[in-house]
Amino acid sequence: MESSPAKAESPPESRHKDVGEILFTAEQIRARVDELGKQISLEYAGKRPVLVGVLKGVLPFLADLMRQITLDAEIGLMAVHRPHGYGHPDVKITRDVQLDIEGRHVIVVEDIVDMGQTLNKILEHLRGKKPASLEVCTLLDKPARRVVEVPVKYVGFQVPDKFVIGYGLDYRERFRNLPYIGTMKSEPEL
């Protein structure tokens, strides 16, 4: 079950002057993460999945999601870098998952899937480690930006083709700590 943006009140101008519309409130995020955790727990019953989070925007989502999963799950972390900037297909893995995932059920946990290039590189890399299964759980899906089709099994919310911030998502390392997900008043230069 995917959810779509709900209209919510704007944040106080004095606190976050660069935030425009709030797409998902902290309460909406909490409820959806709870649903995703329950769904994963049911579908992986009797298994010990490995959640692989992609740093660093995923941290709030990963922390909240793993608390909602009622299974004995392991956590791994990866990091990637785009040396030529956003939108360029060159993606480098700068931190590999430290767990042996061969024969394991792996769920890649992302903050957002938009163009699909980064996720595609991660999935190719992890497939080489021979997991028993490999699925994707993303908090946000932005299909309008997709350049490379990637399989995403668990989706928190679909978002419009706008730059989004908050709940781990940043613009130049700012706004990650916002408890909600919103847009910027003006589209930033990437």
Active site residues: 114
Token pair listed for 18: 């660069």
| Angle subtended by helix axes 59-68 and 26-43, to nearest 10 | 50
Are the CB atoms for 49 and 106 separated by under 8 Å?
yes
Number of helical (H) and strand (E) elements in the chain, helices listed first: 3, 9
**Which residue reads 């660069």 in tokens?**
18
**Strand pairing partners for 110?**
138
What DSSP character marks residue 186? S
Token pair listed for 35: 């649903």
Token pair listed for 28: 């909406």
